[in-house]
């Protein structure tokens, strides 16, 4: 038993006090774990775009003050009552969506949407007593997706903790706790491309590139990467992406259209230009222009597509660019809470399938130790996803890198 077991731990945590304001490193109190909970010492954490969305809280429910963070690796410090399969010293990855091992979803081979522990982005407290384990001078600080890894110590439900090989370097495998497993699993477990098929990946951040990596592992013949940020394309070559499309390159008709003398035509032209401007600036939904580009590139559409952007336009494009008859599109990006998916029902009647996934359909406790082994056996490379590393005191830099589109994954060292 550790010397701190059963006691409140005072440690550093990065607190998001308000939407969009830099995190502040504070001394927090972390209460001991309660029934079916474990307290973890976080050694490394990384920033995923989902943290950024909930920090910005532009299209999401604002819950503040909050300790964000959900991609991490650490060591069990102490366990609460009823925890039998973890002990102090175990090496673990906390996961934002859990596995109780008892509910119909956990018992089904087809789902990882545990009834008890599935992702809940609005809840800021622990399940057992509806309270937070974090506080500053007695004032509660809310949790985030049951993990809150931007803290030296955190309390997590035992069902949200994957016990892994203690030999695995936590500064690398921590990224399997969300983004990389999500992208990889979205392709291998959900889209399931057959050898020789074509795959489109929308969004070439870490999640999308992990999806591309899955496509490469599955033997895809063509991997088409779509991103608005052209600097992503060079990087994506390392991940087996063979062709690139930037939807912004397809705005040329706006400039090329000449006005006709007839005034009705002129009004139509102006409306078209306004519509095009709104699409390019993400003010309204895409009209499928880039879908047509992909459909033309592939003689009828890609066999599989994965959307890893969080943009509703990209989600619609990802669905509409798959081949009729057999094409499957998988949504991975986290939408705004008011987004609505609009497409013509005939696209479904024509034999296209639309799916979505959290955490690449992996069950965290059952499957993630095996994904870590893939890294240990050199079947899966993680180093190429890690573009930056900062100390905990510099955590706001990780946000800047992601917002500027410069980083894939930035590792945050908790000892710094």
Ligand X SMILES: NC(=O)c1ccc[n+]([C@@H]2O[C@H](COP(=O)([O-])OP(=O)(O)OC[C@H]3O[C@@H](n4cnc5c(N)ncnc54)[C@H](O)[C@@H]3O)[C@@H](O)[C@H]2O)c1
Interacting residues with Zn ion between 28 and 87 (CB under 5 A)? 48, 50
80 binding ligand X? (CB under 6 A): no
Q: Which is nearer to ligand X, 259 or 341 (CB)?
A: 341
68 — phi, psi (to 5°)? -80, -170
Q: Which is nearer to ligand X, 189 or 313 (CB)?
A: 313
Pick the binder of ligand X from 118, 143, 163, 232 (CB under 6 A): 232
Are 165 and 268 in contact by the 8 Å Cβ rule? The answer is no
Q: Which is nearer to ligand X, 49 or 172 (CB)?
A: 49
HSE-up (13 A, CA, CB side) for residue 147: 33
Interacting residues with Zn ion between 109 and 138 (CB under 5 A)? 114
Question: Of residues 178, 308, 321, 410, which has the active-site annotation?
Answer: 178
Pick the binder of ligand X from 313, 320, 330, 411 (CB under 6 A): 313
Interacting residues with ligand X between 138 and 167 (CB under 6 A)? none
Q: Give which of 302, 306, 195, 289 is closest to 248, Cα–Cα.
A: 289
Each residue of 203-241: b (16+ CB within 10 Å) or e?
Answer: bbbbbbbbbbbbbbbbebebbbbbbbeeebbebbeebbb
284 is catalytic: no
Residue 202 binding partner per list ligand X, Zn ion, none, with a CB distance cut-off of 5 to 8 Å that depends on partner kind: ligand X
177 binding Zn ion? (CB under 5 A): no
Residue 204 binding partner per list ligand X, Zn ion, none, with a CB distance cut-off of 5 to 8 Å that depends on partner kind: ligand X
Each residue of 51-62: b (16+ CB within 10 Å) or e?
Answer: bbbbbebeebee
Q: Which is nearer to Zn ion, 160 or 390 (CB)?
A: 160
Containing H/E element for 330? strand 328-331
* DSSP structure class, residue 322: B
Q: Which stretch binds ligand X (CB under 6 A): 76-84, 206-214, 296-304, 373-381?
A: 206-214
71 is catalytic: yes
Q: Which long-range contacts (CB under 8 A, 24 or more apart) does 372-379 make?
A: 372/93, 372/162, 372/164, 372/165, 372/168, 372/173, 372/176, 373/165, 375/168, 375/172, 375/173, 375/176, 376/165, 376/167, 376/168, 379/217
Question: Of residues 39, 49, 232, 352, which has the active-site annotation?
Answer: 49
Cα(315)–Cα(305) distance, integer angstroms: 10
Total length of the chain: 416
Residues in binding contact with Zn ion, number by CB under 5 A: 7
Pick the binder of Zn ion from 178, 188, 190, 395 (CB under 5 A): 178
Question: Of residues 45, 50, 97, 187, which has the active-site annotation?
Answer: 50
49 binding ligand X? (CB under 6 A): yes
314 binding ligand X? (CB under 6 A): yes
410 is catalytic: no
17 — phi, psi (to 5°)? -80, -35
Residues in binding contact with ligand X, number by CB under 6 A: 34
The CA-based angle 72-76-78, given to 5 degrees, is: 140
Pick the binder of ligand X from 94, 203, 225, 301 (CB under 6 A): 203
162 binding Zn ion? (CB under 5 A): no
50 binding ligand X? (CB under 6 A): yes
Cα first-last separation, the chain:
26
Each residue of 172-199: b (16+ CB within 10 Å) or e?
Answer: bbbbbbbbbbbbbbbbbbbbebeeebbb
HSE-up (13 A, CA, CB side) for residue 39: 27
Question: Of residues 37, 45, 100, 235, which has the active-site annotation?
Answer: 100
Q: Which is nearer to Zn ion, 5 or 103 (CB)?
A: 103
Q: Which is nearer to ligand X, 13 or 314 (CB)?
A: 314
46 binding ligand X? (CB under 6 A): no
Token match 């500053």: residue?
A: 136
Question: Of residues 45, 48, 99, 105, which has the active-site annotation?
Answer: 48
Question: Of residues 66, 118, 143, 232, which has the active-site annotation?
Answer: 118
Q: Give which of 61, 14, 11, 62 is closest to 40, Cα–Cα.
A: 11
Can you give the C-alpha Rg of the chain in angstroms?
A: 22
Residue 330, strand partner residues? 306, 355
Q: Which is nearer to ligand X, 31 or 67 (CB)?
A: 67
Q: Which is nearer to ligand X, 9 or 293 (CB)?
A: 293
49 is catalytic: yes
- Residues at the contact surface with ligand X, assessed by CB under 6 A: 48-50, 53, 178-179, 182, 202-208, 226-229, 232, 247, 308-311, 313-314, 332-334, 357-359, 402, 405
- Residues at the contact surface with Zn ion, assessed by CB under 5 A: 48, 50, 100, 103, 106, 114, 178
Which sequence positions are flagged as catalytic? 48-50, 70-71, 100, 103, 106, 114, 118, 178, 409
């Amino acid at each position: 038993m550790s010397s701190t077991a059963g006691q409140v731990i005072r440690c550093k945590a990065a607190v998001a006090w308000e939407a969009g304001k830099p995190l502040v490193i504070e001394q927090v109190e972390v209460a001991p774990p309660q029934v079916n909970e474990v307290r973890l010492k976080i050694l490394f954490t990384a920033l995923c775009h989902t943290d950024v969305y909930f920090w910005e809280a532009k299209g999401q429910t604002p819950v503040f003050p909050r300790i964000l963070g959900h991609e991490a690796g650490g060591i069990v410090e102490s366990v609460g009552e009823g925890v039998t399969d973890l002990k102090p010293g175990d090496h673990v990855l906390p996961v934002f969506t859990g596995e109780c091992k008892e509910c119909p979803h956990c018992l089904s081979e087809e789902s990882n949407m545990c009834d008890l522990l599935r992702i809940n982005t609005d809840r800021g407290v622990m399940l057992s007593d509806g309270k937070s384990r974090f506080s500053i001078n007695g004032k509660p600080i809310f949790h985030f997706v049951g993990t809150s890894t931007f803290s030296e110590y955190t309390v997590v439900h035992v069902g949200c903790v994957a016990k892994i090989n203690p030999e695995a370097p936590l500064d690398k495998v921590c990224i399997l706790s969300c983004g990389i497993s999500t992208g990889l699993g979205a392709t291998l477990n959900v889209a399931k491309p057959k050898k020789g098929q074509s795959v489109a990946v929308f969004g070439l951040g870490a999640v999308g590139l992990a999806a591309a990596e899955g496509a490469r592992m599955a033997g895809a013949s063509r991997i088409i990467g779509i991103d608005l940020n052209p600097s992503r394309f060079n990087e994506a070559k390392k991940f087996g992406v063979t062709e690139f499309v930037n939807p912004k390159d397809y705005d040329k008709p706006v400039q090329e259209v000449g006005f006709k003398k007839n005034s009705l035509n002129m009004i139509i032209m102006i409306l078209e230009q306004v519509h095009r401007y709104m699409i390019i600036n993400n003010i309204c939904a895409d009209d499928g222009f880039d879908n047509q580009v992909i459909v033309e590139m592939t003689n009828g559409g890609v066999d599989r597509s994965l959307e890893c952007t969080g943009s509703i336009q990209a989600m619609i494009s990802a669905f509409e660019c798959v081949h009729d008859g057999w094409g499957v599109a998988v949504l991975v990006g986290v939408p705004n809470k008011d987004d609505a998916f609009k497409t013509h029902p005939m696209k479904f009647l024509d034999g296209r399938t639309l799916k979505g996934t959290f955490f690449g359909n992996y069950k965290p406790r059952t499957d993630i130790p095996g994904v870590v082994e893939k890294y240990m056996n050199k079947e899966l490379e993680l180093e190429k996803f890690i573009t930056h590393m900062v100390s905990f005191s510099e955590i706001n830099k990780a946000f800047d890198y992601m917002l500027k589109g410069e980083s894939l994954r930035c590792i945050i060292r908790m000892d710094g």
